[in-house]
Structure 1
């Protein structure tokens, strides 16, 4: 609630916010331009996204979330040292680049984001990564809206590390705004990431982060 009050106070005068059932919402339709202005003014403790025309607040990361990110970073560094896993990157997503997603991680060549602004074009992104958190919007945002948003801008792979179902879902082969493939694997499996990553993920260690 304190974060909401700080956000509401910082919001542009024409952006009216409300806090309903634990969610931050806008009283009026929100444009991309209004969202970006709101995001620039937001307190450092609040991370915002604009997904499917709605204002979304990213949940705070806990220790297991951070540990899972580091697990993926280590594997990527070992298998593909020419690539980087960039945390909390802002991407322009969805049709006509109308979405603004704050990815838990994006994979691209080292140095890719040099000179980019707050919200980067998705060109050159090889994989988007989301690690679910314990919040009520997770199902709609991570499992439904974000696959559509990432596929729409042609991100080759979207990796969803799901802490509720203890699975990894690998979305790939984007075509006409949708991923054609989305197999899921239980934690503990060896998962092969498809092109352009072409690398295995030994997920056995993930089981210690099931809480």
Structure 2
């Protein structure tokens, strides 16, 4: 038998919350066992990330701007962050999974 320290939510309840969020143009985040809400990215947000990517590639084609890569950052809140962009060598994140080591990242970007 599996036991949990926290009460668990049924899948149907989570799906209903996700559907309601989609209708209100918000995005859900599940961080450290908690569901959070943030505004859904709009076209301006995406355009800014694309612009930054183009600038970075123009000056350093060996580096890529990876969108929303999960990073392990010990000094940040619970140790995990998912920035809008992470600038790193082209193959840096290969094989690291959802949460990668941040030591090889040269820049993180958050569009606000």
Compute the TM-score of the two structures, normalised by the length of structure 1. Answer: 0.38
Structure ranking higher on relative contact order (CA contacts 8 Å, 6+ apart): 2
Residue of structure 2 in register with 1:50 after alignment: 31
CA deviation digits over 1:9-67, x for unaligned, max 9? xxxx7246xxxxxxxxxxxxxxxxxxxxx9xxxx6x7452538x965334311011111
Per-residue deviation, 1:83:
0.3
Q: Alignment length, in residue pairs?
A: 94
Provide the residue aligned with 1:176 in structure 2.
none
Counterpart check, 1:118 vs 2:111: no
For the 8 Å contact 2:53–2:65, the answer to whether it is kept is yes
Aligned to 1:62: 42
Mapped contact 2:28–2:35 kept (Cα < 8 A): no
Which residue of 2 is the match for residue 84 of structure 1? 64
Distance 1:49 1:81 in 2: 33
Name the structure 1 match of 2:3. none
Conserved 8 A contact 2:64-2:88: yes
Task: Please tell me whether the aligned partners of residues 49 and 102 of structure 1 are also in contact (alpha carbons under 8 angstroms).
Answer: no
Q: For 2:91 and 2:78, how far apart are their aligned partners in 1?
A: 25
TM-score, with length taken from structure 2: 0.67
Structure-2 change in CA distance of 1:93 and 1:111 (3 Å): same
CA distance in 2, matches of 1:89, 1:60: 17
Helix, strand or coil for the counterpart of 1:131? coil
Cα distance change, pair 47–108 in 1 and its aligned pair in 2 (3 A): farther
Number of the residue aligned with 2:7 = 14
Q: Matched residues in 1 for 2:101 and 2:95: separation? A: 12
**Runs of at least 4 residues off by over 3 Å:** 53-58, 94-98
For structure 1, the 5+ residue unaligned runs are 1-12, 17-37, 133-211
User: What value does the CA root-mean-square deviation take over the aligned residues?
Assistant: 3.1
Q: Extract unaligned runs of 5+ from structure 2.
A: 1-5
